[in-house]
Structure 1
Amino acid sequence: MLNLDRILNQERLLREMTGLNRQAFNELLSQFADTYERTVFNSLANRKRAPGGGRKPTLRSI
């Protein structure tokens, strides 16, 4: 089983799993983190209801 903490702490495993060295991985991580935060904020700002709000789905029986 893969362990994310182990992969991030070992340079060799990080390179094998991502194809990137530590510096390149950290640069991409910062760019993706900024974009992800903006995306989540924008999607939550345009909601009419809170996440999980509204009726729960039900299936009609035949």
Structure 2
Amino acid sequence: MSGGVLGVALAVLPTAVAMQSRAATPILLAAALALAWTERRGLGRLARAAAALWPLGPLA
């Protein structure tokens, strides 16, 4: 399902940007929210992995 959401966003994005440059932000935001919704089961693992990387933030 997430591949379909990403595919639709990537298909619409070039046309929307050509028509109006500020159109990319809402499209990308909607795609990110849709991907987060479809992959919500795996977000717990991602959050735990991201929490383990916080000490490395100052090094970046």
TM-score category by the smaller chain? 0.3 to 0.5
Higher RCO (C-alpha under 8 Å, 6+ residues apart): 2
Q: Which has the higher helix share?
A: 2
TM-score under structure 1 length normalisation: 0.34
TM-score under structure 2 length normalisation: 0.35
